[in-house]
């Protein structure tokens, strides 16, 4: 199994920050250490070309990123400091999700050790998200005629507001988001289906909701491909949220989503999304749990 990854993701210097940029490299190292993958199983994407970003993003925004000209307010909204390395890593990341989706179309599954930057809008970044890799990947693969209909299953703690906004008038892309209601982003965009969870929601209630909605969405909408945003910030220890999912609960979530896609032969690209446990090693092990679940099923 090939995994898509770049060393550049962990080289972005954002100083003391809740976003654990180191997690990407630690995930790679742990996967190697555990013998789950070999050294040459990693594919390093090139950065996407600026003009290809125009599938989703505005020319004005790309110019600002290229030239380091974000305003003070724009950088505040992004919630991480701009640097040329941040833009480079973000462009590699967009291509990484594209490659994961291309892999999925060939092999059934594509795993990106990165991505899931669902808060990025066409004309601005926010909530640690510079470029919306999910949206660019879907638009590019659609434009090339490789798929017609796509579904985004977004299980991050936070609502996928950027993705929902980008696809709001696209009847060929179904956006699903299950997230903590009483949390950033406020106000929220409208996905095709939003499930806003109350504080303290635990494993059982979460799984009941997935069982109620996921099979029905897949059967009714019949997508040609899926991008699964597998954020691990719904975890009970997470510093940014108040959901109460356990490690086993997140494993059940991943198994349920991936199995429902696999048995319907829906090609699936996995992106990591958020994860802000006080101990970075918990975040790393939760992401590895997702990756292992996917490898096991394919």
Site residues (CB under 5 A) for Zn ion? 156-158, 231, 233, 274
Taking the complex as a whole, the smallest distance from the CB of residue 273 to Zn ion amounts, in Å, to 6
CA-derived radius of gyration, the chain: 17
Nearer to Zn ion, 52 or 238 (CB): 238
**Identity of the residue, 103 or 176, whose beta carbon is nearer to Zn ion in the bound complex:** 176
CA distances from residue 272 to 54, 59, 221, 248 in whole angstroms, order as listed:
24, 27, 24, 17
194 beta partners? 177
8 Å CB contact between 120 and 10: no
**Among all residues, whose Cβ is closest to Zn ion?**
274
Query: In angstroms, what is the minimal distance from the CB of 260 to Zn ion?
Result: 22
Least distance CB 270 / Zn ion (angstroms): 15
Q: Which is nearer to Zn ion, 249 or 274 (CB)?
A: 274
Complex with Zn ion: residue 36 or 209, whichever CB lies closer: 209
Task: Write down the least CB distance from residue 177 to Zn ion, Å.
Answer: 11
Distant-in-sequence, close-in-space partners of 267: CB < 8 Å, separation ≥ 6: 101, 104, 105, 108, 109, 110, 147, 224, 225, 226
Q: Which two tokens stand for residue 82?
A: 């701009």
In the complex, minimum distance from the CB of residue 257 to Zn ion, in angstroms, rounded to a whole number: 16
* Cα distance between residue 3 and residue 1, in whole Å: 7
Rounded-to-integer distance, Cα 2 and Cα 270, Å: 13
Q: Quote the DSSP letter at residue 153.
A: E
Choice between 133 and 156, CB closer to Zn ion: 156
């Amino acid at each position: 199994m090939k995994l898509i990854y770049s060393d550049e993701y962990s080289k972005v210097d954002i100083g003391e920050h809740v976003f654990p940029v180191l997690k990407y490299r630690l995930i790679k190292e742990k996967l190697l250490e555990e013998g789950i993958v070999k050294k040459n199983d990693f594919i390093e994407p090139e950065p996407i070309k600026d003009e290809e970003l125009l599938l989703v993003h505005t020319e004005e925004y790309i110019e600002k990123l290229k030239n380091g000209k974000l305003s003070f307010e724009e950088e505040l909204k992004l919630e991480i400091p701009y640097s040329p390395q941040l833009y480079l890593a973000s462009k590699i990341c967009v291509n990484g999700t594209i490659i994961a989706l291309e892999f999925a179309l060939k092999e059934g599954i594509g795993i990106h050790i990165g991505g899931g930057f669902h808060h990025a809008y066409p004309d601005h970044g926010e909530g640690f998200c510079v470029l919306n890799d999910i949206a660019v990947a879907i638009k590019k693969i659609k434009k090339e005629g490789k798929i017609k209909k796509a579904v985004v299953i977004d299980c991050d703690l936070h609502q996928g507001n950027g993705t929902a906004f980008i696809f709001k008038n696209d009847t060929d892309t179904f956006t699903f988001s299950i997230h903590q209601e009483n949390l950033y982003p406020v106000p929220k965009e409208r996905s095709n289906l939003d499930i806003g969870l109350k504080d303290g929601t635990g494993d059982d209630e979460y799984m009941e909701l997935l069982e109620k909605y996921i099979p029905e969405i897949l059967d009714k909408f019949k997508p040609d491909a899926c991008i699964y945003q597998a954020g691990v910030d719904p975890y009970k220890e997470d510093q940014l949220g108040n959901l109460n999912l356990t490690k086993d609960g997140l494993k059940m979530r991943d198994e349920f989503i991936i199995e429902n896609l696999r048995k319907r032969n829906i090609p699936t690209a996995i992106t990591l999304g958020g994860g802000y446990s006080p101990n970075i090693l918990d975040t790393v092990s939760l992401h590895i749990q997702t990756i292992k679940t996917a490898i096991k099923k394919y």
